[in-house]
Chains A and B, each alone.
Chain A
Amino acid sequence: MRRSVGEILRETLDARAIDPQAPPQSQEPTANVRSRSTDLGAGAEQWLPEGTVPIATTDQWLPAARQLREHPELAMDHWIDLTAVDYPQRGDRRFDLLLFVRSSTLGRRAALCLRLSETDCVPSLTSVWEGAVWAEREVYDMFGIAFAGHPDLRRILLYEEFVGHPLRKDYPIEGVQPLVPYRKAPDIHKLPPFGADEGQPWTRVQWKERLLGKDRHVSPAIAWQQGQREALHVREDAEAERHAGQSEQEGSDEEALRNGSSFGDSHPAHIAGDSAR
């Protein structure tokens, strides 16, 4: 008779790590098991799949996950999923963060649940399973739950200008997003979807000048790798000044053309800048 995930966690962690509010669940979660409704009354509703172990505090989230991975009776080395459910009617601690993992050697599954408020910051599980990288980014994107220690926490399915977090219950289903203006980045010489450190510059590459460090279209990331960061900053300042002057004159195309010295120079300055609108 093997012990349940809840029992093992209760023993290895502090007993208070398991949320006492939720009723103890003994049954092992398998793939297709009829769940039990754990309705805790008005204002505190919560439904969890059978066998989910509720974790009490965010401090215990990472230790519990480590136990799942490292305990010999659990050995949950197969990442399955991480997601959240929003219960705004609960008031405080509105989110349920749900983790699903599986053991490849023992063939058993485990699920953890953590109640969160909007301002809580959850420790990231990326140090335990790397599969958490995209899962946490998605939860952050869809629910606005922040993860501490995540290597690269940015929106993943939606664009960075998106307002709100759509899977929250208070985000309207008919919600309409404002049109996104072209991204403001001074003189990146790239068409709008590209950030300053992405993509190739929208010009011909002047190899000789680039080797001498004089090519002003070198991508910042590349320049940084070549140790040209300082020089680039100086140039950026000069460009910013030029842009300031340009916007005073309502940034005419002629201005952009006059400033542009070569084929590649002329157009991106006014496409990427705000003056086109």
Chain B
Amino acid sequence: MSSPAATGALAPTSPRATVEADPQSLDRPLDTTAIELPAEPMRLNMGPAHPSTHGTIRMVLDLDGEVVVNVDIQPGYLHRGFEKSCERGTWNHVFPYADRLNYVSPMLNNVGFALAVETLCGIEVPERCQYYRVILGELARISDHFTCNGAVCMELGAFTPFLWLIKVRDWVYDLLEEETGARVTHSFGRIGGMAEPPTATLKSRLADLIPEIERVLAESEKMMVRNRIFMDRTRGVGCLSQQRALELGVTGPVLRSTGHEYDVRKAEPYLLYDRFDFEIPVGHDGDNYDRFMVRMEEVRQSLAILRQASAQMPDEGPVNVDDPRLILPDKQAVYSTIEATIAHFKLVMEGVKVPAGAVYSCTEGGNGELGFLLVSNGSGTPYRVRVRPPCWYNLYAVHGMVHGNMLSDVVPTFGSINMIGGECDR
């Protein structure tokens, strides 16, 4: 499994040996040699029951003293067979599963999957729906980044910022609950639209929420960014080089913290992201501090997108495409006409008939490029659904990032990767 890294016996060093004892001095030379322990690598098992591993990852670490010399990360404790399960239902049955991939930002997965299927069908949803998806997605991104950064702070022992940031997540959940009817797993996306049109109060609630989020953002930054303890614990810890990040398939905030500005929203715009004025924050060291800062700044950019999208979104207009092959008929019509009843029955029982073909479609999820490889054989059931989980490759990158760091740095490094078990293990 792990190679016996260069961890031979540490040469015992006794720096005090030559110091003469001054009889007047109160300082007594300490005899350090008496407590020398045998220097051999210790193999430590961390997780899956360790709280910082979310109960889903097992790490086997080789330690030289407190320094990590080797690590083997073993995912799979949350494997539910997502991809296999998708092959037995209809295309619309995938949405609840997609929610449970990255359950910290479920709306982004919903939208990502819907976009992939719509690409395969060759349709584009109405503009109002695209704005709506952008708004809900950016709200989910804010809650994702705040959760991650709050967890990083807490893993360094700072409990207050965690509560401040999680408070925002709750406000976002309140808004999403108002819109979708569910706080966490919304199952709100549909092929060709959304389950419901935006509520009438969406814009006013957003207008109230955005300044509040900005206030918390500024507060938390004031508390953490120049905090001596925080800087000492995060700067230069868990470094990842840009070249290595690319080779490992790292995407999202973790890649951007190394200085490479790759964001699917800018590089290959989908929805209406080319209409908004926003920037991609990048770091340069790829350490825990940069990842924290990149996420904080991305929240600010998301707020800018929210403002613009809220201002531009039309108040009237259709949300779903006008295509009875994709969208369920009006409920009143189902109860009163035979055509609508049959359409409803066929859509529910047989599912949307997606044309045969394959597509790889990616969106910017909370953790990076969330890709869906879909293969359809023309029936109502997916032939193959492969999700490219950004966490999967980000987590693999931890192998090199913790080498040479202290054991206590493994926890915040792991936290700043924002590994989400549901997405990583599927």
Contacts and interface: CB of A to CB of B under 8 A. Distances in A.
Contacts of A81: 249, 371, 373, 386, 388
Contacts of A58: none
B361 interface: yes
B377 A47 contact: yes
Pick the 8 closest A-B CB pairs, nearest first.
A79-B249, A131-B249, A31-B268, A47-B358, A157-B76, A37-B357, A81-B388, A157-B79
Given A77-B246, A130-B248, A166 B60 contact: no
A173 B82 CA distance: 11
Interface stretch (A10-18, A116-124, A197-205, A245-253): A197-205
Interface string B381-410: 001101010001100100000000000000
Nearest to B85: A173
A196 B356 CA distance: 49
A33 interface: yes
Contact of B270 (A32, A36, A49, A131): A32
B275 interface: no
Interface string B177-197: 000000000000000000000
A268 B76 CA distance: 26
Given A36-B357, A158-B76, 16 more contacts: A34-B120, A35-B119, A45-B377, A47-B356, A81-B371, A85-B383, A111-B360, A142-B83, A156-B74, A157-B425, A157-B426, A173-B85, A198-B43, A199-B43, A221-B43, A225-B41
Instruction: Give the size category of B's interface with A.
Output: 35 or more
B388 A80 contact: yes
A65 interface: no
A211 B38 contact: yes
A152 B3 CA distance: 11
A104 B44 CA distance: 37
A79 B245 CA distance: 9
A167 interface: yes
A49 B85 CA distance: 22
Nearest to B122: A34
Interface in B66-121: 74-76, 79, 81, 83-85, 87-88, 115-116, 119-120
26 contacts: A31-B268, A31-B270, A31-B362, A32-B115, A32-B116, A32-B270, A35-B119, A47-B356, A48-B358, A49-B373, A77-B246, A77-B247, A79-B247, A80-B369, A80-B371, A81-B386, A130-B248, A131-B249, A134-B396, A156-B74, A166-B81, A199-B60, A207-B37, A210-B38, A221-B43, A224-B4
B7 interface: yes
Contact of B267 (A49, A107, A222): A107
B133 to A, nearest CB: 14
A130 B359 CA distance: 25
Interface in A149-201: 152, 156-159, 166-167, 171, 173, 194, 197-200
A8 to B, nearest CB: 20
Nearest to B243: A77
Interface of B: 1-2, 4, 7, 37-38, 40-45, 60, 74-76, 79, 81, 83-85, 87-88, 115-116, 119-120, 122, 243-244, 246-249, 260, 262, 264, 267-268, 270, 355-362, 369, 371, 373, 375-377, 383-384, 386, 388, 392-393, 396, 425-426
Given A33-B119, A80-B388, A129-B247, A207 B355 contact: no
B53 to A, nearest CB: 14
Contact of A47 (B84, B115, B376, B386): B376
Contacts of A159: 76
A70 to B, nearest CB: 13
Contacts of B246: 77-79, 104
Given A197-B1, A198-B43, A131 B248 contact: yes
Interface in A201-242: 207, 210-211, 219, 221-222, 224-226
B40 A222 contact: yes
A49 B88 contact: no
Contacts of A129: 247-249
Interface of A: 29-37, 39, 45, 47-50, 77-81, 83, 85-86, 98, 100, 104, 107, 111, 129-131, 133-135, 138, 142, 152, 156-159, 166-167, 171, 173, 194, 197-200, 207, 210-211, 219, 221-222, 224-226
Contact of A35 (B1, B120, B371): B120
A224 to B, nearest CB: 7
A207 B38 contact: yes
Nearest to B246: A78
Contacts of B116: 32
Nearest to B79: A157
Contacts of A211: 38
Contacts of A36: 357
B358 A49 contact: yes
Contacts of A104: 246, 260, 262
A45 B383 CA distance: 12
A80 B119 contact: no
Contacts of B74: 156
B415 to A, nearest CB: 20
Of the candidates B81, B243, B426, the one having the most CB atoms from chain A within 10 angstroms of its own CB is: B81
A167 B88 CA distance: 12
B38 to A, nearest CB: 6
A215 to B, nearest CB: 11
Contacts of A49: 358-360, 373
Given A32-B361, A104-B262, A222-B43, A198 B115 contact: no
A107 B260 CA distance: 12
B357 A35 contact: yes
B110 to A, nearest CB: 16
Nearest to B40: A222
